[in-house]
């Protein structure tokens, strides 16, 4: 310490001795040395005596005073003053002045006062600059020293003022001093505000800081004479104007008061253009932006260091909220983009740390500055627009910014929709008005994407998105002053903001109604419970005051009306304004900004009366009564019209205005200064009696700002987002479509891959959010927009694969489109049409690989009999190159003939270049990445609505089928779509009911409209068969519909059916073999059997059909009451068919005959079971009768072996045991046999022996059949009333048969057989008591009729049957030999 001081004293003395003034000689009187030199020498002697161990007890002024005297002295030259300042800087930099030193505050004050009042003799320019630089060093060392807290607020302000004076003076000096002075002032301000975290907020809470209200600061110029320089401060400095309270606060230790004064001083520097009467909107060349930028840099530095702690200090916070923010907004509207950029940086810092205390200020900044300067329609330059957009984007990159804007501004009744306005502005700015895009367009997209990404990032945050239903207002309640009770509870504030947003939306609708018709507007608001059922003035006034968008013309007329209710509303309306501390003109401006002043004098009178009452109520000191305020208000309106109406040639002077307002204040005059200030304020700034309509970007006037500060005291608290997606659904719903449109515009007009990739990321983010929030319409719109870019625009090559590979934009759009379809297909509805169109374009141009998917159903193995399909090969490898051109397949005779003609003259194929090969590889790789097949194979995971729309899109894309395909391409597309439809159906077997109607209708159209064989109808038929085949085992409830659909095959055109008959048969056969157990209904079997029967007549398909029939009927394994009759008829048709051999016909007959065993079994089961046995037995009788009838038809077959075999089987079926045949069925069976015998007789008599061989044998079998049937049914029929008729018919048939002649002669064997069989029947009837002379009823007609007929057949039989008593024994003997049933208790029993 001693060494430092001794060294510094020696240095200063050495420099002083260079000057003749100090070099030697007696100074004055008895003094040998000059007092300045004597002081230094005295210090050097004293230092030697001080105890080094007690250096901290030494008072700093003892070793500082000699140096300070030199700094203050007018006699010292620049070198001497500079040396003294260097010594002071060294002492302070080494912290020799400790914070605990005695009287350290006095010492620091002395240093500051001496340095700020530094005077020295100027010798040359360089030495002067050196001294000024050292002054800055010492001042900076003062605020950096450990003893800096000992400084008072006044001295800190003096330091800043001195630094600024040096900055000003440096403007005429060298560039180095300019840089040093500015940098030093920055460091000083940083050091001052860096102390804010260490200041106890409670220590300054009670200090009253009455800051200067001056709007500008004009720093005094340094006096710089020829002989000396002075740094003494004038009255215009930091904290220069102060009152008693201010002086007391400024003498306190270094703290918040000086910081407020510094900020106020810096704000005054922002208005330097206004003080110098420079228009801030003039050209940038004419506007000196240096000083405002310097001040903004200082403000930025101070805010950066202190913003985290400003909220702890109410006075500092109040200054930031009011004066600082207002000045920043004012200077931000200047023409300089650099100033706007700096202002935006400061606001960004304030938002980041203090947004909860700056809610309405932030809203005003965006509404009145940023949104205004971001649009050219408000006169903003391109540079201003760019800076404004950069500011918005920077804010948007803060993940919580937009969410907080929505919940705090858009959901606040008294705030503008900042979120919506920013989104609309960004989306509109993305659209280019020129052909090419500008950086503004891309910048706007960055902002939108930043917001979208922030929403997307929040989707995974906990708690998850919650949708709260907003309860409708059932009755009116005062909602304007409503505030959230607890902004820290998400449940409460989410419910609150949702309710507020709902009310705000309804208010906007009410505004539209009101602007159209006031009465309808009120009615709507009352119906929505936004106004009470009985209108009252206070609530109507609140609606007028705080609802944006009202027609100001209508509002002014309403407020000026003379009816009592309107007058009450007017007075309540005026009470909503706060005119405290506002001049009359400012209050009047604020009042008239809310509506248009009507033109009628009476309305103006009423409106100004209400205003005057409110103004006098809040400012009673100026006026003695309300009338004075009214008269002056009227006078101000007249002055405003006089000064700003171009038709008024002679303008009112200041004296005229003052003279017009004499004696209006209760007979006294108002202060002349007050009236003069009012006059010039009106002349300079017009009161707009026709305010701007709507809720656009208005300018921030002083009155407007005063109203904002009034509202800020009553506004609801700012709600922090905390990264939770509580309101993201509503936000995304608002911005989704504008964002899609903006991304589409940018994507369509840029070519750089980086920008394209950003657009694709935006598309994917929007799709992810749309799916997350279930906004299917948004996702579909996105798909449609994205699909537009998959169209190939590059036509430089004929090969579409090459063109697609070279089109980066198309490839990126394609990948994004199919990524969305694969991931978010659940939420795509109408968008499937776009996706299918894209797939078809790629298919048509050959870009779709041969294989989109393997097998269509994951539980079925591929079958050789599966439907034909092009999709049979795996994906091509990435290294494989698609063919340059694929020749079209030629159809028809002439086409193939032309191919042969030009086969030898075919030109060699064009060899692609390396660039084309690379493009083709790119195309192949892109299609592979799209995984198009996954869309259809994984369609089983789609939601029902999406799946249905996918199927319908495929059907629509396939087009309407035509009788004859118009082109190969159209048919190819239709076939391809049909393949995809089938794939979707097979992969959704559990939900095939959903698709079935549309699918069946599509297949029906194809089948009914096609008259020639083609790929489309082939795919339709076999695809239908494959679907039925695969779905039958799993869809019991759909079996009938599936099988019914196969009836379409029966409707095929004959040419089409003939072409595919064999394959159809194979598919039907496979279906029967695999699914016979699943076919239950008669309709299903009828469809299957109909298909088998139709193909039975086709030579190539008949055998396969018969195999299917054998499979069904073999041993009755698949016979059922539902298919019995159908299968019997089908067997008959196969037996009747000549396409097969006789053996196959006999086989078919055997199948028919064996089926009777099923009837027997079913009959037995029915008898054992309870229930509707009688009705079921009737069904069995009906089936048995159908079997008999079918066999009877085959008994007339031309082929002898078939005919005779049929007769034998018929005989077998007629006498089968176990079937309870009713009497009526027996009678019908006789009709069948009688008809058969008639047909056989006719054939025997009329047909050629070559056509029907050995008819005698067939007749013989038929006769035995008749007799056997009669004996079998005798027991059941003998008691019936119709028995006599039946018996006589049998006898008639015998008579006809015995007399028949074949080729001119009777058949002896037939006669013998008839006689013998008749005798046996008579004996049985006699033994059974059926035939006797007198029956039990006494009726002998049967006896007589019988013998009358028998006498014509065999006259001798009567004596044989009834010879006497022996006749009975003979009859019984015959009966025993023939095993004829006897009558016993009404049942047939065997006679042993």
DSSP codes of every residue in 951-999 = HHHHHHHH----SS-S-HHHHHHHHHHHHHHHHHHHTTGGGHHHHHHHH
Handedness of CA 807, 808, 813, 819 (dihedral sign): positive
Q: Of 296 and 44, which is predicted with more confidence? A: 296
In a 10 Å sphere around its CB, with 0-12 CB exposed, 13-18 middle and 19+ buried, how is residue 147 labelled? buried
Nearest to 835 by CA among 995, 971, 977: 977
Angle between helices 808-823 and 832-844 (to 10 degrees): 130
CA angle, 853 as apex, 851 and 856 as ends, to 5°? 130
Looking at the DSSP assignment, which residues form a beta bridge with residue 1387?
1384
pLDDT band, very low/low/confident/very high, at 886 (cuts 50, 70, 90): very low
Provide the phi-psi class of 25: left if phi over 0, else alpha when psi is between -120 and 50, else beta.
left
Cα–Cα distance measured from residue 935 to residue 941, given in angstroms and rounded to the nearest whole number: 10
Closest CA to 132 of 174, 177, 88, 176: 177
Q: What is the DSSP string of 261-278?
A: HHHHHHHHHHTHHHHTT-
941 near 988, Cβ under 8 Å? no
Would you place residue 341 in the very low, low, confident or very high pLDDT band (cuts 50, 70, 90)? very high
Active site residues: 600
Average pLDDT over residues 779-803: 80
Q: What would the two tokens of residue 835 be?
A: 């996706």
User: Using CA atoms, how far apart are residues 511 and 531, in angstroms rounded to an integer?
Assistant: 13
Tokens of 1352: 């014509």
Q: Are 623 and 592 in contact (CB under 8 A)?
A: no
Using the predicted structure, report yes or no on whether residue 322 has a pLDDT greater than 50. yes
Instruction: Quote the pLDDT of residue 58.
Output: 83
Angstrom distance (rounded) from CA 592 to CA 610: 12
Q: How many CB atoms lie within 10 A of CB 582?
A: 22
Torsion angle defined by CA atoms of residues 699, 318, 185 and 76, in that order, rounded to the nearest 10 degrees: 120
Per-residue pLDDT at 1369:
47
- The whole-number pLDDT of residue 871 equals 32
Q: Which helix (H) or strand (E) holds 1387?
A: strand 1387-1389
Q: Is the peptide bond before 463 cis (omega within 30 degrees of 0)?
A: yes
Residues whose CB falls within 8 Å of the CB of residue 1321, separated by 6 or more in sequence, listed in order: 1267, 1270, 1271
Handedness of CA 1147, 1152, 1156, 1158 (dihedral sign): positive
- Provide long-range contacts, Cβ within 8 A and 24+ apart, for 1159-1167: 1159/1124, 1159/1183, 1159/1184, 1159/1187, 1159/1216, 1159/1219, 1160/1216, 1160/1217, 1160/1218, 1160/1219, 1161/1116, 1162/1121, 1163/1218, 1163/1219, 1163/1220, 1164/1218, 1167/1220
Q: Record the tokens describing residue 914, joined without a space.
A: 């390396």
Lowest-pLDDT range of 216-225, 882-891, 1257-1266 = 216-225
- E strands within 869-914? none
What's the Cα-to-Cα distance from 308 to each of 202, 323, 402, 975, rounded to whole Å?
17, 19, 21, 69
- Quote the percentage of the chain above a pLDDT of 90: 29
Q: How much is the pLDDT for 1140?
A: 75
pLDDT band at 392 (very low <50, low <70, confident <90, very high): very high
* 3-class secondary-structure state, position 1020: helix
Query: What six digits make up the tokens of 322?
Result: 């009011």
For 785, 816, 1080, the CA distances from 1087, given in Å and listed in that order, are 47, 47, 12
Residues facing residue 1302 across a β-bridge: 1305
In this prediction, residue 691 has a pLDDT band, given cuts at 50, 70 and 90, of low
Torsional class of 327: left (φ above 0), alpha (ψ -120 to 50), beta (otherwise): alpha
pLDDT at 1236 over 90: no
What pLDDT is recorded for position 969? 73
Strand partners, 120: 229
User: What pLDDT is stored for residue 199 in this prediction?
Assistant: 85
Q: If pLDDT is split at 50, 70 and 90, which confidence band does 888 have?
A: very low
Q: Are 823 and 779 in contact (CB under 8 A)?
A: no
Mean pLDDT value of segment 550-560: 92
pLDDT at 869: 37
- DSSP H/E element including 1388: strand 1387-1389
Q: List, in sequence order, every residue forming a beta bridge with 229; answer none if it has no partner.
A: 120, 224
Please check the confidence at residue 239 and state whether its pLDDT lies above 70.
Answer: no
- Indicate the pTM of the whole model: 0.78
Per-residue pLDDT at 569: 94
User: Using an 8 Å Cβ cutoff, are 550 and 599 in contact?
Assistant: no
Statement: residue 695 has pLDDT above 70: no
Lowest mean pLDDT among 412-421, 729-738, 1166-1175: 1166-1175
Can you give the pLDDT at residue 746? 92
Residue 730: C-alpha distances to residues 196, 351, 770, 773 (Å): 41, 24, 11, 10
Q: Which of 192-196, 925-929, 1171-1175 has the lowest mean pLDDT?
A: 1171-1175
Judged against a pLDDT cut of 90, whether residue 25 lies above it is answered with no
- Quote the distance between the C-alpha of residue 1176 and its chain's center: 61
User: d(Cα 415, Cα 417) in Å, to the nearest integer?
Assistant: 7
Tokens 């902002």 label which residue? 447
The pair of three-digit structure tokens given for residue 1035, joined into one six-digit string: 């869809």
What band does 744 get if pLDDT is binned at 50, 70 and 90? Answer: very high
Q: Cα 615 to chain center, whole Å?
A: 52
Higher pLDDT, 1250 or 274: 1250
Q: How many CB atoms lie within 10 A of CB 141?
A: 22
The Cα–Cα gap between 977 and 869 comes to 12
pLDDT over 90 at 351, yes or no: yes
- Residues with Cβ within 8 Å of residue 194, at least 6 apart in sequence: 305, 306
Whether pLDDT at 454 is above 50: yes
Query: Averaging pLDDT over each range in 42-56, 688-702, 904-918, 1130-1144, which range is the top one?
Result: 1130-1144
> CA neighbours within 13 Å on the CB side: how many for 1095?
30
Per DSSP, the three-state class of 119 is: strand
Q: How many residues does the chain have?
A: 1392
pLDDT at 242: 45
Question: Quick check: helix, strand or coil at residue 31?
Answer: strand
More reliable by pLDDT, 391 or 1076 = 391
More confident residue, 363 or 1269: 363
Give the other-Cβ count within 10 Å of 182's Cβ.
20
Q: What is the pLDDT of residues 966-1010, one digit of tens each?
A: 667 788 888 999 999 999 998 998 888 888 899 999 999 988 888
Token pair for 293: 């930028």
Beta-bridge partner residues of 31: 28
Per-residue confidence (pLDDT) for residue 832, from 0 to 100: 94
Supply 916's token pair.
């084309």
- Average pLDDT across the chain, whole number: 81
Instruction: Report yes or no: 805 and 811 within 8 Å, Cβ to Cβ.
Output: yes
Kindly give the residue spans of alpha helices, DSSP state H, lying in 118-226: 125-144, 153-170, 175-194
- The pLDDT tens digits of the residues spanning 823-844 come to 999 999 999 999 999 999 888 8
């Amino acid at each position: 310490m001693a060494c430092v001081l001794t060294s510094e004293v020696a240095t200063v003395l050495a420099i002083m001795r260079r000057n003749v003034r100090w070099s030697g000689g007696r100074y004055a009187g008895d003094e040998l040395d000059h007092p300045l030199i004597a002081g230094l020498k005295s210090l050097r002697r004293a230092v030697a005596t001080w105890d080094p161990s007690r250096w901290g007890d030494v008072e700093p002024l003892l070793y500082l005073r000699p140096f300070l005297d030199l700094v203050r002295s007018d006699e010292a030259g620049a070198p001497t003053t500079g040396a003294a300042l260097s010594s002071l800087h060294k002492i302070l930099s080494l912290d020799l002045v400790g914070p605990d030193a005695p009287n350290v505050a006095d010492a620091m004050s002395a240093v500051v006062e001496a340095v700020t009042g530094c005077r020295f003799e100027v010798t040359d320019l360089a030495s002067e600059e050196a001294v000024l630089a050292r002054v800055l060093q010492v001042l900076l060392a003062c605020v950096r020293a450990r003893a800096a807290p000992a400084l008072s607020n006044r001295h800190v302000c003096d330091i800043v003022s001195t630094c600024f004076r040096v900055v000003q003076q440096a403007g005429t000096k060298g560039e180095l001093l300019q840089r040093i002075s500015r940098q030093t002032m920055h460091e000083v301000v940083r050091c001052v505000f860096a102390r804010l975290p260490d200041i106890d907020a409670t220590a300054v809470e009670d200090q009253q800081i009455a800051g200067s209200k001056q709007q500008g600061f004009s720093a005094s110029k340094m006096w710089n004479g020829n002989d000396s320089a002075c740094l003494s401060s004038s009255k215009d400095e930091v904290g220069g104007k102060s009152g008693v309270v201010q002086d007391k606060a400024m003498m306190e230790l270094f703290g918040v008061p000086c910081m407020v004064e510094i900020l106020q001083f810096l704000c005054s520097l922002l208005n330097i253009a206004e003080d110098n009467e420079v228009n801030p909107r003039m050209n940038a060349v004419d506007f000196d932006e240096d000083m405002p930028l310097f001040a903004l840099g200082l403000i930025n530095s101070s805010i950066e260091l202190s913003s985290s702690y400003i909220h702890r200090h109410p006075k500092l916070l109040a200054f930031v909220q009011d004066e600082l923010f207002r000045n920043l907004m004012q200077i931000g509207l200047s023409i300089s983009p650099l100033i706007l950029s700096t202002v935006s940086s400061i606001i960004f810092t304030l938002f980041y740390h203090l947004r909860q205390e700056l809610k309405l200020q932030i809203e005003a900044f965006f509404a009145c500055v940023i949104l205004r300067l971001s649009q050219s329609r408000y006169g903003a330059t391109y540079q201003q627009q760019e800076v404004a957009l950069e500011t918005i984007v920077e804010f948007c990159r803060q993940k919580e910014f937009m969410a907080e804007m929505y919940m705090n501004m858009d959901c606040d009744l008294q705030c503008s929709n900042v979120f919506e306005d920013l989104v609309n502005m960004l989306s509109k700015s993305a659209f280019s008005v020129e052909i090419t895009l500008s950086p503004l367009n891309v910048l706007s997209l960055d902002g939108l994407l930043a917001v979208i990404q922030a929403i997307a990032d929040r989707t995974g945050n906990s708690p998850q998105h919650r949708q709260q239903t907003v309860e409708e207002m059932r009755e009116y309640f005062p909602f304007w002053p409503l505030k959230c009770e607890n902004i820290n509870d998400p449940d409460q504030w989410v419910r609150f903001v949702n309710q507020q947003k709902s009310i705000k939306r309804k208010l906007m609708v009410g505004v539209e109604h009101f602007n159209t018709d006031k009465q309808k507007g009120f009615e709507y608001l009352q119906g929505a419970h936004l106004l009470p059922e009985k209108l009252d003035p206070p609530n109507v006034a609140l609606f007028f005051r705080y609802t944006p968008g009202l027609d100001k013309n209508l509002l002014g007329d309403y407020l000026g009306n003379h009816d009592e209710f309107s007058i009450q509303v007017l007075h309540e309306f005026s009470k909503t304004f706060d005119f405290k501390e506002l001049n009359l003109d400012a209050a009047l401006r604020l009042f008239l900004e809310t509506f248009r002043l009507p033109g009628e004098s009476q309305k103006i009178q009423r409106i100004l009366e209400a205003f005057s009452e409110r103004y006098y109520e809040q400012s009673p000191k100026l006026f003695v009564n309300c009338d004075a305020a009214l008269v002056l208000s009227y006078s101000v309106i007249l002055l405003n019209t006089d000064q700003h109406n171009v038709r008024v040639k002679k303008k009112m002077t200041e004296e005229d205005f003052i003279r017009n307002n004499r004696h209006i204040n209760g007979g006294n005059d108002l202060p002349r200064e007050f009236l003069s200030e009012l006059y010039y304020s009106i002349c300079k700034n017009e009161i707009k009696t026709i305010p701007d309509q709507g809720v656009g970007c208005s300018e921030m006037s002083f009155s407007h700002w005063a109203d904002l500060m009034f509202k800020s005291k009553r506004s609801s608290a700012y709600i922090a987002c905390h990264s939770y997606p509580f309101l993201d659904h509503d936000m995304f719903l608002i911005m989704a479509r504008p964002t899609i449109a903006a991304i589409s515009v940018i994507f369509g007009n840029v070519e750089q891959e980086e920008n394209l990739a950003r657009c694709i990321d935006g598309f994917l983010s929007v799709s992810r959010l749309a799916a997350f929030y279930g906004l299917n319409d948004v996702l579909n719109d996105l798909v449609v927009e994205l699909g537009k870019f998959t169209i190939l625009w590059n036509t430089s090559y004929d090969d579409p694969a090459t063109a697609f590979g070279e089109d980066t934009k198309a490839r990126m759009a394609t990948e994004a489109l199919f990524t969305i379809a694969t991931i978010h297909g659940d939420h795509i509805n109408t968008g499937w049409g776009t996706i299918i169109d894209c797939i078809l374009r790629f298919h048509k141009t050959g870009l779709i690989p041969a294989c989109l998917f393997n097998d269509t159903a994951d539980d079925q193995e591929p079958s050789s009999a599966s439907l034909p399909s092009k999709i049979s090969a795996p994906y091509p490898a990435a290294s494989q190159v698609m063919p340059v051109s694929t020749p079209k397949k030629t159809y028809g005779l002439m086409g193939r003939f032309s191919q042969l003609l030009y086969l030898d003259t075919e030109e060699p194929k064009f060899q692609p270049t390396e660039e084309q090969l690379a493009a083709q590889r790119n195309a192949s790789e892109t299609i592979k990445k799209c995984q198009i097949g996954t869309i259809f194979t994984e369609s089983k995971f789609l939601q029902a609505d999406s799946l249905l729309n996918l199927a319908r899109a495929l059907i629509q894309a396939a087009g309407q089928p035509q009788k004859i395909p118009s082109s190969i391409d159209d048919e190819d597309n239709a076939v391809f779509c049909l393949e995809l439809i089938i794939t979707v159906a097979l992969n959704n077997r559990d939900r095939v009911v959903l698709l079935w109607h549309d699918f069946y209708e599509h297949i029906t159209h194809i089948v009914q409209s096609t008259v020639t064989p083609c790929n489309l109808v082939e795919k339709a038929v076999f695809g239908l068969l494959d679907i039925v085949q695969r779905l039958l085992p799993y869809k019991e409830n759909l079996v009938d519909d599936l099988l019914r659909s196969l009836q379409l095959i029966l409707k095929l055109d004959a040419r089409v059916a003939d072409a595919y008959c064999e394959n159809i048969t194979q598919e039907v056969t496979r279906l029967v073999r695999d699914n016979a157990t699943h076919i239950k209904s008669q309709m299903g079997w009828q469809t299957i059997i109909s298909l088998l029967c139709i193909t039975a007549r086709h030579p190539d398909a008949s055998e396969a059909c018969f195999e299917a029939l054998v499979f069904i009927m073999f041993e009755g394994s698949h016979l059922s009451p539902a298919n019995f009759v159908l299968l019997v008829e089908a067997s008959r048709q196969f037996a009747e068919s000549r396409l097969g051999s006789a053996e196959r016909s006999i086989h078919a007959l055997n199948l028919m005959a064996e089926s009777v065993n099923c009837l027997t079994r079913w009959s037995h089961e029915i008898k054992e079971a309870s229930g509707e046995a009688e009705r079921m037995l009737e069904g069995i009788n009906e089936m048995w009768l159908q079997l008999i009838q079918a066999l009877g038809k085959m008994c007339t077959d031309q082929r002898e072996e078939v005919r005779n075999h049929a007769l034998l089987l018929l005989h077998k079926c007629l006498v089968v045991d176990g079937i309870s045949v009713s009497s009526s069925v027996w009678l019908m069976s006789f009709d069948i046999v009688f008809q058969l015998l008639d047909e056989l007789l006719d054939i025997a008599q009329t047909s050629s022996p070559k056509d029907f061989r050995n008819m005698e044998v067939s007749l013989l079998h038929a006769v035995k059949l008749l007799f056997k049937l009669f004996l079998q049914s005798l027991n059941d029929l003998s008691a019936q009333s119709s028995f006599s008729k039946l018996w006589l018919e049998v006898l008639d048939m015998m008579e006809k048969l015995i007399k028949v002649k074949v080729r001119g002669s009777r058949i002896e064997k037939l006669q013998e057989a008839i006689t013998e069989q008749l005798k046996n029947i008579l004996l049985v009837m006699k033994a059974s008591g059926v035939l006797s002379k007198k029956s039990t009823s006494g009726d002998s007609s049967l006896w007589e009729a019988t013998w009358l007929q028998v006498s014509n057949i065999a006259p001798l039989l009567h004596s044989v049957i009834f010879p006497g008593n022996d006749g009975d024994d003979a009859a019984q003997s015959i009966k025993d030999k023939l095993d004829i049933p006897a009558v016993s208790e009404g049942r047939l029993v065997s006679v042993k």
